[in-house]
Amino acid sequence: MDNMIRSLPKAELHIHIEGSLEPEMMFALAERNGVRLPYRSVEEARAAYAFSDLQSFLDLYYEGARVLMEEADFFDLTAAYLKRAHSDGVRHAEIFFDPQTHTDRGVPFAAVVSGIHAAQAAAAEESGISSKLIMCFLRDLSVDSALQTLQQALPYREWIVAVGLDSAEVGHPPEKFAAVFEAALKKGFLSVAHAGEEGPPEYIRQALDLLHVSRIDHGVRCLEDPELVDRLRAERVPLTVCPLSNVKLRVFKTLAEHNLKRLLDAGLCVTVNSDDPAYFGGYVAENLRAIRKTLHLTEDDIRALARNSFEASFLSEEEKQRYVDEIERFEGSRDCGSR
């Protein structure tokens, strides 16, 4: 089954590239760029990754991102993620980046986006993995800062498929960014938003109604609102769920208490993703393996999650169909007993 999980074609739709910064690379880049780290060793860094909530994680995540200074650093980071994802059977990734985390430290927007883009192109060439880029606004910063960031992105419109919303959720509702998203949609970007991770179901409604999102990142708190669940099912709004992240950030006390199986059973378009794998202890296959075991998912559940990941993606209808067919054939070979 673990082999099946790894080799099944899948898309990853909720991965913060800065959250794929493994401590080993953090130390190498700190050395390369002369940045001081608050840890004496890789082991000490890993040991510090014990979080009580989203904010306690964000504090270390932004601290770690300070080692990313040059275009080459963003290239190395993205190349490493895409290589790792490919080895987990990820065929397509939609990658978040947080430009304000870097531009606020004086790193040019161009260095960030050019480094990431070059690594995406190199990985596509080398392994065939495709990827798209989603620019997130930090919701705890101002609307003006988000608007400035949108302006900076315009010359790179062709490299960025969508805008998103991340960072500290509670107290920063989607409605705060309605004008920013309206401007982005007018420029041809699609939109997504983190909502219902720590924030209430109302934030999910706002993301749909005011930010016109194509999917909800996390969204696990929707189950508190049955009418909202009916709407998400009827409109087939995908949720990019991140099980190991949710446990690390104590959205659920244990993986056994995670509501992913209930979300699936409610008929929602659930996908499984790693969020910030360097901090939360698992890439996408590890997330699937853990929920399969702990939540007693069937092979059919796993195949549905893989199909959903392509359905929820920003690939073309033809590309989606190609992957869904491949997943169908994957089933066929298993049924013939050859796998």
Binding site for ligand HPA (CB under 6 A): 16, 19, 54, 61, 166-167, 194, 197, 245, 275-276
Nearer to ligand HPA, 167 or 206 (CB): 167
Nearer to Zn ion, 37 or 77 (CB): 77
- Which DSSP category does 137 fall into? E
Name every residue whose Cβ is closer than 8 Å to that of residue 49 and which is 6 or more positions away in sequence.
60, 248, 279, 281
Query: ∠ at Cα 27 (26, 32), nearest 5°?
Result: 100
CA within 13 Å, CB half, 57: 24
Tell me the closest approach of the beta carbon of residue 139 to ligand HPA, in angstroms.
8
Task: Tell me, residue by residue from 234 to 273, as one string, x for binding to Zn ion by CB under 5 A and - for no binding.
Answer: ----------------------------------------
Contact partner at residue 198 from ligand HPA, Zn ion, none, CB < 5 to 8 Å by partner kind: none
Tell me the closest approach of the beta carbon of residue 208 to ligand HPA, in angstroms.
18
- Which DSSP category does 154 fall into? G
Tell me the closest approach of the beta carbon of residue 275 to ligand HPA, in angstroms.
5
Among residues 18, 275, 286, 311, the one that binds Zn ion under rule CB under 5 A: 275
E strand or H helix at 277, and its extent?
Answer: helix 277-280
Contact partner at residue 94 from ligand HPA, Zn ion, none, CB < 5 to 8 Å by partner kind: none
Nearer to Zn ion, 37 or 211 (CB): 211
Say how far apart CA 244 and CA 317 lie, in whole Å. 30
Nearer to Zn ion, 10 or 37 (CB): 10
Nearer to ligand HPA, 61 or 74 (CB): 61
Q: Residue-wise over 107-146: b if at least 16 C-beta within 10 A, else e?
A: bebebbbbbbbbbbeebeeeeebbbbbbbbbbbbbeeeeb
Question: By C-alpha distance, which of 296, 298, 318 is closest to 306?
Answer: 298
Tell me the closest approach of the beta carbon of residue 316 to ligand HPA, in angstroms.
28
Decide if 197 is catalytic. yes
Tell me the closest approach of the beta carbon of residue 230 to ligand HPA, in angstroms.
26
Catalytic residue among 12, 18, 22, 197: 197
Question: By C-alpha distance, which of 183, 178, 180, 176 is closest to 199?
Answer: 176
Q: Which residues bind Zn ion (CB under 5 A)?
A: 275
- Give catalytic residue positions: 197
